[in-house]
């Protein structure tokens, strides 16, 4: 990366085809992080949706990250659309991109990624480093 410009990481759905997900949770710890900003009305509205899905998955770690309050945590990742969600299984980023605000969209993504230990990771050092920072920043 050159200069101080943020890394441009393309959204990647990382979603396997419907019907391939199992129903049981994998042993890989899943992390779901939502990147928003307090000034964003869409984010403020989405926060309750995020909490609803969090309650459905007590074995998954959910983090709400305000990109302006925690810029060092975000690092060089450019979050351009809100809400943007990162889902990681273990150290591997599996999904990164903006979501529509319906709870079933997030719930389906979480369900698929928590049930698949063999999911495909998104390539890219920046996202892997972000996952490591997020896991280290909160218990």
Distance CA 109, CA 132 (A): 20
Segment 9-12 long-range contacts (CB within 8 Å, at least 24 positions apart): 9/77, 9/78, 9/96, 9/124, 9/126, 9/127, 11/81, 11/84, 11/96, 11/97, 11/98, 12/95, 12/96, 12/97, 12/122
Q: How many residues does the chain have?
A: 139
Task: Note the pLDDT tens digit of each residue in 20-54.
Answer: 333 344 578 999 999 999 999 999 999 999 999 99
Distance CA 25, CA 117 (A): 9
| Domains, the chain, ordered by start | 30-137 (3.40.30.10)
Region 105-129: what's the mean pLDDT?
A: 89
Is it the case that residue 113 has pLDDT exceeding 50?
Answer: yes
Is it the case that residue 134 has pLDDT exceeding 90?
Answer: yes
Number of neighbours of residue 101 by Cβ within 10 angstroms: 15
Task: Note the pLDDT tens digit of each residue in 65-85.
Answer: 999 999 989 988 889 899 999
Region 8-28: what's the mean pLDDT?
A: 45
Predicted local confidence at residue 49, as pLDDT: 95
């Amino acid at each position: 990366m050159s200069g101080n410009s943020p890394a441009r990481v393309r959204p990647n759905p990382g979603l396997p085809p419907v019907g391939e997900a199992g129903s049981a949770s994998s042993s890989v710890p899943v992390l779901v992080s939502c990147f928003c900003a307090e000034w964003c009305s869409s984010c403020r509205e989405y926060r309750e949706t995020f909490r609803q899905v969090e309650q459905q998955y007590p074995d998954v770690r959910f983090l709400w990250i305000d990109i302006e309050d925690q810029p060092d945590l975000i690092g060089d990742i450019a979050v351009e659309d809100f809400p943007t969600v990162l889902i990681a299984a273990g150290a591997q980023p599996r999904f990164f991109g903006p979501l529509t605000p319906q709870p079933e969209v997030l719930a389906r993504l979480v369900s698929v990624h928590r049930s698949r230990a063999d999911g495909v990771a998104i390539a890219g050092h920046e996202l892997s480093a972000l996952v490591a920072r997020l896991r280290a920043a909160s218990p």
